Amino acid sequence: MGPGGISTEIAYVLGQTGGLSRTPADVFNTVYLVFLILGTLVGVVVIGYTLTKAWRYRDDGERDDESESDKVVRPVLGHLPTGSGGGKKLFVSFGISAVIVLSLIVWTYSALLFVDDTPPEVAAEGEEPLEIEVVGKQFNWEYTYPNGHTEEPTLYIPEDRPIRLKVTAADVWHNYGISEFRVKTDAIPGQTTTAWFVADETGTYEAVCYELCGSGHSAMRGDVVVMEQEEFEEWYANTTDGSTSASVNSDVTGDTDANANTNAADPAATEGEA
Amino acid sequence: MTEHADHDHEHHLPPKSSVKRWLVTTNHKDIGVLYIITSLFFLVAGGILAMMIRAQLWTPGGTLLGGQGYNQAVTSHGLLMVFWFISPFAFGLANYLVPLQIGADDLAFPRLNAMSYWVYLFSGLLFLTSFFLGSSLAGGWTIYQPLNVPAFIPEVNQVGSLATIFALMLFVAAVTMGSVNFLTTFYRMRAEGLRVRDMPLFSVSILLTVWMMLFAFAALLAAVILLSFDHLLGSVWFSTAEGGSLLWAHLFWFFGHPEVYIVFFPALGVMAEVFQTFSGKRIVGRKWFVIAMALVAIQSFVVWMHHMFLTAINLPIKTIFMATTIGISLPFDLMVFALIYTLAKGKIRFKTPFLFSFGALLLFILGGITGVFLGAVVLDYQFRGTYWVVAHFHYVMFGGGTALIGGLYYWYPKMTGKMYDEFLGKVHFAMFFVGFNLLYFPMFVVWETPRRVFDYAAEFTMWHRLATVGAFLFAASFLVMIYNMFKSLHSGEEAPDNPWEYASAGEWAVPSPPPLENYPGVPSYAGGKLSFLTRSEAADGGTVVEQEVAGTEQTAPDGGAIAHAGAAATTPTTDYAEELALEDEHADHASIWPFAISASAFVTFLGLSGISKAYFIWPFVFATGFMVAYFGIEGGRREGFGWIHPVVMALGGAIAAGGAYLLAIDKGGLGAAIDGASVYFWLTTVGAFMGAATLTQLGFEEFNVPEPAIAEQWPFEAVSNVKLGMWMFLGSDVILFGAFIGSYIFMRVGHGWTDWHHDFIPEAHVVLPGLINTYLLLASSFAVVLALVAARQQNRRRLLGYLITTFLLGVGFLINKAVEWEHLFHLHEGAFADGWTFTTNIASSSFYITTGLHGAHVAVGLLITLYLIVRAYNGAYLGEEEADTIEHFGLYWHFVDIVWLFLFPLFYIL
Ligand code: HEM
Ligand SMILES: [Cu+2]
Ligand SMILES: [Cu+2]
């Protein structure tokens, strides 16, 4: 599948007409917003309805049982349950809720495909993603760039360019996440997971560990510095002390298939550059 | 209503005012009360930790607890609340009420029930002890790996960590015993005419809960056993880089997701009961409500990977688990709507139990909606590891807890015979509900806070402070509850049989509190209403059976006129006279051994937490020798001495002496062995000896539990209680072994199925010992079958002969295994110059531990065989019915045999 194949369609499904500049963060924020609105709506309606009914049918000692609810058979001590009506209403509301839930989830499925896909070219110039390896260790993050350069504990990245992360751990289970860019993935010893994101604004952000990993877990944070593209290129040029063979791997154009992120343990890929 | 005299003394049960009563009781109502009180104690313990957490979070990066201390608080809080508070609280209610609701006079196995309770209590005490052994476990209640193997735990904290793991193991044992007991009770002891689907909804919910428990906890047990061996013997299950972490995650969540329903279902049952009573309506769509619950119970076993969306699982699997997750939320929609529609046309009385159940429904709606957010995988990615998850599961789990508290108020009058204080109850609810939302709702707002982290963005401070304030209000509300319960016990109004208008379940048709035997006769629902059958002598000398219909007089709410249930409508009938005569059989209600055995387990596991690898096996060798000898002594003393008794005693002595000899060789002299033994070794030894003695006493104790003669037993009319119980237990054992075997296959596939042999396994690991053992076990199974035949034919000599044959074949199996292991341990072969031991690699770990678990099953079977031999010598088990014991043992033994038929090819041939 070519770059942006699936994702173009998804961009379409998601109603983005503004070109390819969607990022996982945008997708998350859209889906979250829709869920929040619908969730609040459903919550207010259901809880409102429940409260109204409860109040309406309170036993204030005034309502005459017989006249108002002649159809209701009250439970009697020691009697086996007999069927109680209301089944139809039950199924209608159940049906409605099922439709809401199912359509919401089906709709988000396309978003999932987008996020799980390899990063598309976002910039008009067709810039390929920057692939960075991340190793979590008690209690820090270590980054390896395509040229073999390693950084710790700060991540330097260019703005507006897809960043593809290959994440693993050296000791225990961690979880790598940058809240601002809505990217997160597990860092598991012996496994490699992938995730991608785009930083659309320069500045300093935070990468945080989201899985309990020991006594220093609460402090396992590192800065993420987003630079303008030229600034980054400059910085990056000064780091080319890594091995040249590493560049092979940096050639990740959009040609990897959609399943690339599904490969499980592939320590060889990690070691190849270290 | 306490007009009836306290008959308890007639059953050898001391009065409730005596401490002894509570140590020996096996009555389900007493045990229910014990469960409730104990679980509330653990609620307080977990609550104190929660307060410490919230205090730490008053400012970002608080310093009240250090990094490790905070982790420990978070971990212990989670474990205590999920395991030691909420489920046992629900099972306290279930213990008390299920027999009353289904028309049984107790659970099927009263002593086992007592044992569940005591093991539960002692497991919790072991947990609390772990705080004083360096540190309790600090790696999260999900116990992710490899963080929780010794390599990543500071030396000083290792004993405490292992104690926590053992506490969990004991807890699981308690749960498994409870599940077996409840399942047998449900299927064998319902009142006549009470179909499963017609049971009160609380009982239905408990039935489904115990089904889930039986299987889910077996998976947890497997995980915890593996983990404990990683600690105890240095096996490498979870420290293996290829898949160790994921193995744990799969095992844990295979248990963990059903667990969330295990926690929630009893609450759902309480809500259904309370909604029906306080709205004066039967639940809407009852049938669908039950079907929905059953669906969830089944489906709960196929959603676990939604906790692992961010691991390297592939898209198709993610898609499947997303679908099952959303699928499982739909039945809940139906249940929620059923509860809501039940309110319509009701006559709703906002009493405390209803307020709590109603509040629980509102909280659950919120928890459910936020759960759907998590079901959307793109959202879950970002919520994972944040306060969104924390808020979500507190809304659902403690939402459930809210209903359970409503249940406590609802049944308080039934259990104590006193009304609680309604005003204080409402105060409690107000503080509780406001506190709850103040505590947890802000967590949704600042969901971007990472979970289990005490540092957060400064702009979140306001919200976290709000939560902390809510937490203290919430905690204070429980003080009101506890005060109310104590006060009402002393000065509450007397409660009538049924204080609640429109209550319909059976427990309200008997006095508050109910008498020891529960019912004024044998309960029956034949004809659609609860009635009680009693037998009395007629004037002409024959028997008359009377049938009283329960609850024909409406009792006034609020304790006005107190009417005795079932006073009117006495119809004499002639049916059932024979069965009723059987029902009069004497039942026992007191045994100290469940308590004593559990206490021994506590001591043993406390010792094991700190014992060194080199000493681990010896306490058990000596205790086995002691136990065998003790069989001989007790058997002879109680039933008359014969040649078998000295033989057995000598055998026990030989085992102990042989053990001492080997230990001396191993450690260079007995003196050196004793010098090298730590206090933990002695603790383990004392515990194991206590266990051997108390288990033997339990075995020899006369304890009569009549099975009901008139009962609804579909679909198990044809099997006895014990046999059904054995089936249920073996069912969970299947999962246990299945999890072991599955773990082995998982790790082997992870490494490469064929490389496994080449990389990990020495040449010396040959097929022959396994093959010999296969024949030995098959032959022993055959011998058990013959023993059963002999017992049925009342041939004592042949019974003895075949039992002894079984025993010898089993011993042969163990000796052969010991020789094989000994050889492998001490290899000097190429890559395995230091031998092939527990710690060598994942293949050796899995081989020794899986076949070792099986070997332990064989060893237990052999001890039982010896016990049977001693009893059979004096004429036990002869006859059609008496032989049942041999049959039940045979079930177990064949099962152990069949397991071997799976293990042999997996570990020797493939
Ligand atoms: C509406 C139905 C529900 C859905 C769709 C749902 C979904 C989920 C999902 C996907 C997660 C994983 C979050 C993550 O760690 O990334 C989760 C976590 C959790 N859920 Fe639910 N849930 C539902 C109902 C419940 C119920 C009824 C309970 C308990 C009574 C419950 C208890 C929990 C707990 C304890 C966790 C956290 C486990 C942990 O410690 O990581 N959930 N839920
Ligand atoms: Cu961490
Ligand atoms: Cu789950």
Task: Please determine, for residue B851, whether its predicted confidence score (pLDDT) is greater than 70.
Answer: yes
Ligand 1 pocket, residue B449 CB under 6 Å: no
Domain identity same for A146 and A183: yes
Domain identity same for A52 and A110: yes
Q: Per residue in B162-192, pLDDT tens? A: 999 999 999 999 999 999 999 999 999 999 9
- Asked, for residue A213, whether it belongs to a domain, the answer is yes
pLDDT of residue B575: 65
Pairing of strands A140-144, A130-137: antiparallel
Domain identity same for A87 and A141: no
pLDDT of residue B573: 57
B393 C-alpha vs ligand 1 centroid, how far in Å?
A: 6
Closest Cα in chain A, distance from residue B505 (Å): 6
* pTM confidence score: 0.92
Domains and CATH numbers, chain B: 2-491 (1.20.210.10), 522-582 (no CATH), 593-909 (1.20.120.80)
ipTM for the whole complex: 0.91
Task: Please determine, for residue B352, whether its predicted confidence score (pLDDT) is greater than 70.
Answer: yes
Domain identity same for A229 and A198: yes
Average pLDDT, chain B: 92
Ligand closest to the CA atom of residue A210: 2
Task: Please determine, for residue B559, whether its predicted confidence score (pLDDT) is greater than 80.
Answer: no
B889 C-alpha vs ligand 3 centroid, how far in Å?
A: 38
Task: Please determine, for residue B680, whether its predicted confidence score (pLDDT) is greater than 50.
Answer: yes
Contact list, B372 vs chain A (CB under 8 Å): 35, 39, 101, 104-105
Q: Per residue in B610-628, pLDDT tens? A: 999 999 999 999 999 999 9
Sign of the torsion angle spanned by Cα atoms A94, A97, A103, A109 = negative
Pairing of strands B543-549, A193-198: unpaired
Average pLDDT, chain A: 79
Q: Which of B341, B365, B528 sits opposite A79 (nearest CB)?
A: B528
Pairwise CB contact (< 8 Å): B318 & A82? no
Ligand 1 pocket, residue B263 CB under 6 Å: yes
Whole-angstrom distance, CA of residue A175 vs CA of residue A169: 9
Domain identity same for A98 and A38: yes
pLDDT of residue B589: 92
Across the beta sheet with B522-524, the strand order is B522-524, B531-537, B543-549, B570-573
Using alpha carbons only, give the angle B219, B223, B225 rounded to the nearest 5 degrees. 115
Percent of chain B residues topping a pLDDT of 90:
84
Percent of chain B residues topping a pLDDT of 70:
95
Domain identity same for A172 and A105: no
Report every protein residue that has its C-beta within 5 angstroms of ion ligand 3.
B 257
pLDDT of residue B312: 84
Please identify every stretch of chain A with a pLDDT value under 70, giving residue numbers as ranges: 1-21, 62-71, 83-86, 120-127, 240-274
Kindly report the number of other CB atoms within 10 A of residue B132's CB atom.
Answer: 11
Q: Which of A75, A93, A101 sits opposite B280 (nearest CB)?
A: A75
What SS3 class is residue A17? coil
Domain identity same for A249 and A224: yes
State which of A73, A95, A116 marks the end of a domain.
Answer: A116
Nearest to B101 by CA among B177, B203, B205: B203
Task: Please determine, for residue B6, whether its predicted confidence score (pLDDT) is greater than 70.
Answer: no
Is B578 or B827 the better-scoring residue by pLDDT? Answer: B827
pLDDT of residue B90: 98
pLDDT band at B10 (very low <50, low <70, confident <90, very high): low
pLDDT of residue B11: 62
Asked whether the beta carbons of B655 and B621 are under 8 A apart, the reply is yes
What CATH number is associated with residue A149? 2.60.40.420
- Asked, for residue A64, whether it belongs to a domain, the answer is no
Domain identity same for A88 and A188: no
Average pLDDT over residues B561-588: 59
Contact list, A177 vs chain B (CB under 8 Å): 382, 385, 450
Contact list, B525 vs chain A (CB under 8 Å): 80
pLDDT band at B557 (very low <50, low <70, confident <90, very high): very low
Domain identity same for A233 and A258: yes
Nearest to B93 by CA among B200, B12, B11: B200
B 468-507 near A (Cβ less than 8 A) = 498, 502-504, 506
> How many domains are there within chain A?
2
Q: Which domain holds residue A112?
A: 5-56+83-116
pLDDT of residue B866: 96
Q: Which of B10-19, B110-119, B598-607 has the lowest mean pLDDT?
A: B10-19
Q: Per residue in B463-487, pLDDT tens? A: 999 999 999 999 999 999 999 999 9
Domain identity same for A134 and A258: yes
Domain identity same for A112 and A137: no
B 556-615 near A (Cβ less than 8 A) = 565
B452 C-alpha vs ligand 2 centroid, how far in Å?
A: 9
pLDDT of residue A68: 54
pLDDT of residue B63: 85
pLDDT band at B571 (very low <50, low <70, confident <90, very high): low
Q: Per residue in A9-47, pLDDT tens? A: 444 444 443 434 578 899 999 999 999 999 999 999 999
Domain identity same for A178 and A219: yes
B 288-317 near A (Cβ less than 8 A) = 288, 310-315
- Longest Cα separation, chain A: 90
